[in-house]
Amino acid sequence: MNSLLKFAGNLIEESKGAVEWEEAQDSFQALLPEDVRYRLGLPESFVTISDGTDVPEEADHHCIGFGTSLLERAISMAIELGPTASMRMPLVSSRKQTEPDPGRHFSFPNATFKLKGNRESWFDYWLWTFVVSAEADERHEEVHQVCVSSSGACCRELPELILDQALDWDRLKVETSEFQESKLNALFMIACDRALRQLDERLSGFKETVKRHHVRDIRRIETYFQNLRQEMEEEIQRRQLEGAALDIREEKMRRLAGEKSAKLLALQDKYRLRLKIRPITLLLARLPVRRFDLLVNRRKKQKRISVLYNLLSKRFDPVPCEACGEDTYTLGFCDDALHILCTSCLAQFKAQKKCFRCRGKRAPSTIKQVLKRLGLQDDGEVS
Ligand SMILES: [Zn+2]
Ligand SMILES: [Zn+2]
């Protein structure tokens, strides 16, 4: 299913419209409340919306895709409506399920642990919806959701599960004062980081195409200049040129070399991948979890940590590495403070005999740091 189409369907349902999907999931019929019809700029309130690969636009049939005014209007509608939504999933008892076992889902390469107990509780998860676009010689745009728990773990199964079910959940009354702005900002940075990283994986096909076009154009330019050069060399040979006539030809060939580098440079710019990421909605989902308290032993030291079993995804949430923020199920620990370290931070710790978190390293906390770590250049397009 097209992610833009799904985004539009969710948006309409969240705004109290009715949506019925076609079996092929490539379009849906919608009955729009008057204000939604107006906001989306549609002439009728009963419409079919499709991803529109080969459908002619009609009064009651509309396509949503990159560059359509329907998408632009849906995005601004989502921005206006989105940021306040918060829901609570109804309680499900985990007692009937087989008891989740942290020891089977987490590994402890340099420590042991004792289970100190577990209890059911609630935990907050933040689901950001981004519109991301990638542009080089072509454009690619998609709607992408990232769910980050309040402890900073990114849970990849949750966006789909939450979006499928949240409409039936009770609205949750929350005061903005319940949440620290700095904490939300930190979680937002994690969401941006994961959105960009997941995008990187999802864009591999797009990047391949761009690369192929780039290589093709480089070859064209090289062949073009090679042919020119060859023609001139042949002329010099054929006409046995010398003196001023030869100097002129040689100067021309030098200029051609300069022209060729300029053209190749311009090509690099044309094929430079530009990413744009726009957050459009934020949903707070309060989900039931089972919290397991563990007492970790590393050499002569001990530390209490908790891991969360999420009753919606029926999985343990990963734990964020305390040095780099990476989500991990492999929990390494440093010697002094028993900081939780992911596989690569643990490897660094072993190789260099020092814990980067103990020396002040933290997960990226500004958009600049996020981009720097991903090797991306900030051109101010991220907001
Ligand atoms: Zn790490
Ligand atoms: Zn440490």
Indicate the pLDDT class of residue 57, thresholds 50, 70 and 90: low
Residues 113 and 178 sit within 8 Å (Cβ to Cβ)? no
Name the DSSP class of 154.
Answer: B
pLDDT of 173 strictly over 90:
no
What is the C-alpha separation between 131 and 151, in angstroms, rounded? 24
User: Ligand 1 mean position to 346 CA, how many Å?
Assistant: 7
| Ligand lying closest to the C-alpha of residue 349 | 2
Distance CA 282, CA 122 (A): 19
Could you report the per-residue pLDDT of 316-362, keeping only the tens digit for each? 999 999 999 999 999 999 999 999 999 999 999 999 988 989 988 88
The DSSP annotation for 66-130 comes to: TT-HHHHHHHHHHHHHGGG-EEEPPP--STTSPPP-HHHH-B-TT-EEEEEEEEEEEEEEEEEEE
pLDDT tens digits along 285-298: 999 999 999 999 99
- 341: CA distance to ligand 1 center in Å? 5
Looking at all shown ligands, the one closest to residue 344's CA atom is: 1
Q: pTM here?
A: 0.74
Report how far ligand 1's centroid is from the alpha carbon of 262 (Å).
42
CA of 148 to the centre of ligand 2 (A): 24
pLDDT band at 383 (very low <50, low <70, confident <90, very high): very low
Residue 181 CA, ligand 2 centroid: distance in Å: 27
Cα of 156 vs centre of ligand 1, distance in Å, is: 18
Instruction: Express the helix, strand and coil content of the chain in percent, nearest 5 each.
Output: 40, 30, 30
**Over residues 149-168, mean pLDDT:** 89
Task: Give CA–CA dist 262/258, Å, rounded.
Answer: 6
Ligand nearest to the CA of 337: 2
Ligand 1 centroid distance, CA of 232 (Å): 59
Sign of CA dihedral 216, 221, 222, 223: positive
Mean pLDDT of the chain: 86
